[in-house]
Structure 1
């Protein structure tokens, strides 16, 4: 009965989308480089396991096993398909006999850098998926670290024929640079998942991914580099079965939104409707958090809910979910309003949108595999693992706009480890830089000093402070306690030998000033060359004056002293006369000028006072009033 219910739900979903659904297979570009007669381009459907080299390329030599060409058994020997040349090996295998993933795993063990599986019939390419339920899958699925692709039967036959003729290496290029579009400086991605943690391998895979990728996801989201949306698949129950126990236990809103029974047993444990309600709660957590500009909190909620509200521990419940919401400081009332009433016989706005989004549009196919990651509207193919997914996200950025997390050690290709990647290097300074796209030869910046050049043949320190980094790649030497350098802080670039040396700045030789007759040319001078300079000596009781290249007597004669004293006395006399002239003649002249100016404004003592006129008449008796 449980199986019948599951089939009904699956049938309902299939019939709902068959009219307009289409499945789009992600394709990588495969180019045959050699032999010339086979040079061409082909498509390949990327396997949904392993690690596709999104954003990069792989050039390798094709190998095809003589027997056991389907790769269902481990190959004999220690890495029998490891390339004998410097190129990696791309192993070609036939389809059929076992899981795709097992073929690729055996190819990886045999030393292949990538695996191509040739289809056994002419048909449209499909996505190679990993086993849903397999006891032996647990041993190798997560260990596959190489890329793989399914190719058309005709292309596979042409490769086999070229190898059979033994006309030389068959060299092909696998190009993933355009497999992930990068329309602008922001990557948009969505993750199709569910809250059920009792569905075996796939549930464990998706929950481990959420926990491990949470840190990267939140860094990218907080920095505005990405726009993330979670999604959840739901089915619906046909109207004829809405009143059945199966639909009532697996669906909400009168059969509109359903999920399979977690334990595949309707008689015990949790029901499918419990999963649908929690899926809805997680969608509303993201919606409400996004409205508060905290969209990254979804990762915290899902991680905490999985730990605190596990199905295995019988804690998977509404109350447990609400407790997690409160602990994260989210408005629980808003989330309840977003969820609506699961018992109402109406459409739920949130879940109805999810069902519509499940149908493929544009370059994205129908979502038929859980979990599914969609990046820039293209379905991601490969292992759902932190580093592999981060590489794919980073490939979604235009080159040069990558966020710092895309340049971390986790994503380095380590191509600089071998022969410095063919880039320039001097001592501990190198122009080789590993990125997830491969190595880049680019002159570095060291301790704030920028190097300039082509990155392959030359790099030169430039700007202030360059002399502190390897002496600016200029000549420098110490000898007898003295150090000279061809690097000058006053020069932004270039090297020039210091005074006393000649050369190109990268090598400098001492100049023998005595031999070149550029010093000590005065009479009675003797010259001795030193490292970086020279010494001049004068004969007798003379000293050398370098500025004038002349010798003067160390102790002067009596006549010289007499003349010197006489000159000094004359200078002193002139100074005294000047002072007397200033004190008496010039000073009296200035005083008279000052008095003349002042007399215009006030009476002085040596002038008669002005007459005073009055209108008062004298009184009799000689008295005036």
Structure 2
């Protein structure tokens, strides 16, 4: 057993060499911490997020800082019943000193004492590091998984300034802000999960598989909707050249020592070998690649969860045959997956595993991947407990506001700020139209699109419908009224925006009143006319038996004189006579023309009598047109 452990340590040394020729790099994700009061300390500072608990990605917390009078290290439970539980509007944020015990134990004791969050001040001036969780062997009470409050490490100088302000009796308000902890460069979130198919590594293996099982639904919804791009990764290292022929390397590595994994039981004589883990890791990489090529990348989540259930190491079912059975059940092309995996015994580089080793080295804003499991979102390492809601919040924080998918507005993560006073946004209660839109980070006041009609405005004090069809929604926000069966409106589709009172009314379009044209003298200007105002118009009446012509604003006689009628009758009679004479002449000319045409046709076929009497026929000669005698 001692030899086995010694060889394992030597392989770990190989891991350090395999990370690259450069020194290992660990990038700390920083979130803003802002001191609100006292004014002399008002400023923004960096704070490294703890790698346990649940950071409120996409959110923030404003709290009152408290520093314990004794046991400022927080290594022992605090006296009393939740002494740091807030009794006012602001939650309590506990400030502790670094040193004396594990970071996680400090935060656990602070949580038990009622603190809403814990800040640890560094004890020396140095670059910030991530407060990581201790080894599972030191967590005898299982408190690490029970930590729910967020935590962060601040630098030594800021910690001293905050403590001095508290000692002087100043109220110190600070704001922990995680809204910008995850960058959002575009409309799609790219995230990756570094895990292992090994399920015998203790609490970390249990945590990663619990997460995969619980997060699968959210992951597949996001992937199918095109909102995210997920990529799984697996850590491997190579065997040092001097140990390639050793039994330890042969049992833990494939491709002649190029890709290795630790022995699951940490005992080379029993159970499964490290090379079994490497080979299954490679298979899972190929499952994702082949599924992705057929636009079914989300099937990887089904394969990993099914493999854990059907092919567990603990049940001695962790095998190639079991894995291929899972592949077939998910209708994945087994031949393509085998081709992707290649020959594990070949003395050549495997392109997929070689790429994985190169990706382990940190680049840009992401540090080296050194622990499992590790989640990276938009190239930033996730910090905190790997659990469904916390990870979903972190992924949702990677979307630009208003572009987050519906799953980010589910009940478990939605803020519902629009439910309280409409979020301070514009609201038209009569039409049930609001400019308040819930987002993952809170809410935005943005004029909405309703029924194909776009509203525009500042979203806070006003919004108005704009464009064609706007009059169909609450009359475009314009005036409208019906009286005596007649409806007038200040909204017309000919105007893309705004309201204009119709003819016969005046006002700003939101309020219109009838114009009394008669009183203002703008109607019925004709001599002796009388004017009566109506709603939206007017009526003009002429005296006697006269008729009013609105087009000319004049009156004409309803009944003409006898002379006029006589002239009219004479004219009509003359016109009628001319029409009759014309008709008779037309009929005569038509009849003559028809007769002449008929005579011409008949003369071609039948001889006239006078022609026949003058003709002399010889004996036996037939008559023209007649039969032969």
Instruction: Give matches, 1:92-103, under 5 Å.
Output: 92-96=95-99, 100-101=103-104, 103=106
Residue 262 of structure 2 corresponds to residue 260 of structure 1: yes
Q: Do the aligned partners of residues 521 and 366 (structure 1) sit closer, same or farther apart at CA in structure 2, a change above 3 Å counting?
A: same
1:501-547 per-residue CA deviation (whole Å, 9 max, x = no partner) reads 43222223344455445556778877665655566778888887766
C-alpha separation between the residues in 1 aligned to 2:65 and 2:140? 32
For residue 20 of structure 1, the aligned residue among 1, 18, 23 is 23
Between stretches 271-280 and 411-420, larger displacement belongs to: 411-420
Residue 490 of structure 2 corresponds to residue 462 of structure 1: no
C-alpha separation between the residues in 1 aligned to 2:87 and 2:530? 74
Q: Do the aligned partners of residues 91 and 560 (structure 1) sit closer, same or farther apart at CA in structure 2, a change above 3 Å counting?
A: farther
C-alpha separation between the residues in 2 aligned to 1:111 and 1:482? 68
Q: Do the aligned partners of residues 16 and 407 (structure 1) sit closer, same or farther apart at CA in structure 2, a change above 3 Å counting?
A: closer
For residue 476 of structure 1, the aligned residue among 477, 480, 483 is 480
Q: Secondary structure at the match of 2:288?
A: helix
**Residues 75 and 106, structure 1, Cα contact 8 Å, conserved in 2:** no
C-alpha displacement of 1:22: 2.2
C-alpha displacement of 1:283: 1.6
Residue 436 of structure 2 corresponds to residue 429 of structure 1: no
Instruction: Look up the match of 1:321.
Output: 323
Between stretches 430-439 and 366-375, larger displacement belongs to: 430-439
Q: Secondary structure at the match of 1:300?
A: helix
**Residues 61 and 83, structure 1, Cα contact 8 Å, conserved in 2:** no
Instruction: Give matches, 1:439-450, under 5 Å.
Output: 439-450=443-454
Unmatched segments (≥5 aa) in structure 2: 594-603, 605-629
C-alpha separation between the residues in 2 aligned to 1:109 and 1:540? 101
1:21-47 per-residue CA deviation (whole Å, 9 max, x = no partner) reads 122222223344543432444322122
Instruction: Look up the match of 2:130.
Output: 127
Q: Secondary structure at the match of 1:302?
A: helix
Residue 204 of structure 2 corresponds to residue 202 of structure 1: yes
C-alpha separation between the residues in 1 aligned to 2:71 and 2:538? 84
For residue 284 of structure 1, the aligned residue among 283, 286, 308 is 286
For residue 48 of structure 2, the aligned residue among 45, 48, 66 is 45
1:102-146 per-residue CA deviation (whole Å, 9 max, x = no partner) reads 5546666777665422123444322123455346446854x72x5
Instruction: Look up the match of 1:577.
Output: 578
C-alpha separation between the residues in 1 aligned to 2:72 and 2:425? 40
Instruction: Look up the match of 1:333.
Output: 335
C-alpha separation between the residues in 2 aligned to 1:232 and 1:225? 24
**Residues 26 and 45, structure 1, Cα contact 8 Å, conserved in 2:** yes
C-alpha displacement of 1:369: 1.8
**Residues 162 and 170, structure 1, Cα contact 8 Å, conserved in 2:** no
Q: Do the aligned partners of residues 35 and 576 (structure 1) sit closer, same or farther apart at CA in structure 2, a change above 3 Å counting?
A: farther
Instruction: Look up the match of 2:609.
Output: none
For residue 232 of structure 2, the aligned residue among 215, 230, 233 is 230
Q: Do the aligned partners of residues 407 and 187 (structure 1) sit closer, same or farther apart at CA in structure 2, a change above 3 Å counting?
A: closer
C-alpha displacement of 1:495: 1.8
For residue 162 of structure 2, the aligned residue among 143, 159, 162 is 159
**Residues 145 and 385, structure 2, Cα contact 8 Å, conserved in 1:** no
Unmatched segments (≥5 aa) in structure 1: 593-604, 606-625
Instruction: Look up the match of 2:568.
Output: 567
C-alpha separation between the residues in 2 aligned to 1:176 and 1:389? 14
Q: Do the aligned partners of residues 73 and 490 (structure 1) sit closer, same or farther apart at CA in structure 2, a change above 3 Å counting?
A: farther
**Residues 216 and 405, structure 1, Cα contact 8 Å, conserved in 2:** no
**Residues 54 and 395, structure 1, Cα contact 8 Å, conserved in 2:** yes
C-alpha separation between the residues in 2 aligned to 1:171 and 1:403? 28
C-alpha displacement of 1:257: 3.4
Q: Do the aligned partners of residues 501 and 183 (structure 1) sit closer, same or farther apart at CA in structure 2, a change above 3 Å counting?
A: closer
Q: Secondary structure at the match of 1:354?
A: helix
Between stretches 531-540 and 207-216, larger displacement belongs to: 531-540
Q: Secondary structure at the match of 1:29?
A: strand
Residue 341 of structure 2 corresponds to residue 342 of structure 1: no
C-alpha separation between the residues in 2 aligned to 1:285 and 1:313? 23
Instruction: Give matches, 1:366-445, under 5 Å.
Output: 366-396=368-398, 402=403, 404=405, 408-409=409-410, 412-427=414-429, 428-445=432-449
For residue 67 of structure 2, the aligned residue among 47, 64, 85 is 64
C-alpha displacement of 1:62: 3.5
C-alpha separation between the residues in 1 aligned to 2:386 and 2:314? 23
Q: Secondary structure at the match of 1:192?
A: strand
Residue 486 of structure 2 corresponds to residue 485 of structure 1: no
**Residues 95 and 120, structure 1, Cα contact 8 Å, conserved in 2:** yes
Instruction: Look up the match of 1:494.
Output: 498
Q: Secondary structure at the match of 1:156?
A: helix
C-alpha separation between the residues in 1 aligned to 2:145 and 2:5? 30
**Residues 406 and 436, structure 1, Cα contact 8 Å, conserved in 2:** no
Instruction: Look up the match of 1:116.
Output: 119
Q: Secondary structure at the match of 1:303?
A: helix
Instruction: Look up the match of 1:364.
Output: 366
**Residues 187 and 397, structure 1, Cα contact 8 Å, conserved in 2:** yes
Instruction: Look up the match of 2:276.
Output: 274
Q: Do the aligned partners of residues 79 and 493 (structure 1) sit closer, same or farther apart at CA in structure 2, a change above 3 Å counting?
A: farther
C-alpha displacement of 1:584: 5.3
1:567-600 per-residue CA deviation (whole Å, 9 max, x = no partner) reads 2552453364267469859x99xx99xxxxxxxx
C-alpha displacement of 1:423: 2.2
For residue 510 of structure 2, the aligned residue among 501, 506, 512 is 506
Q: Secondary structure at the match of 1:316?
A: coil
1:37-58 per-residue CA deviation (whole Å, 9 max, x = no partner) reads 3244432212223444556665
Between stretches 150-159 and 368-377, larger displacement belongs to: 368-377
Count of residue pairs brought into register by the alignment: 585
Q: Secondary structure at the match of 2:454?
A: strand
Q: Secondary structure at the match of 2:45?
A: strand
**Residues 308 and 315, structure 1, Cα contact 8 Å, conserved in 2:** yes
Q: Do the aligned partners of residues 110 and 464 (structure 1) sit closer, same or farther apart at CA in structure 2, a change above 3 Å counting?
A: farther
Instruction: Look up the match of 1:309.
Output: 311
C-alpha separation between the residues in 2 aligned to 1:569 and 1:137? 122
Q: Do the aligned partners of residues 139 and 173 (structure 1) sit closer, same or farther apart at CA in structure 2, a change above 3 Å counting?
A: closer
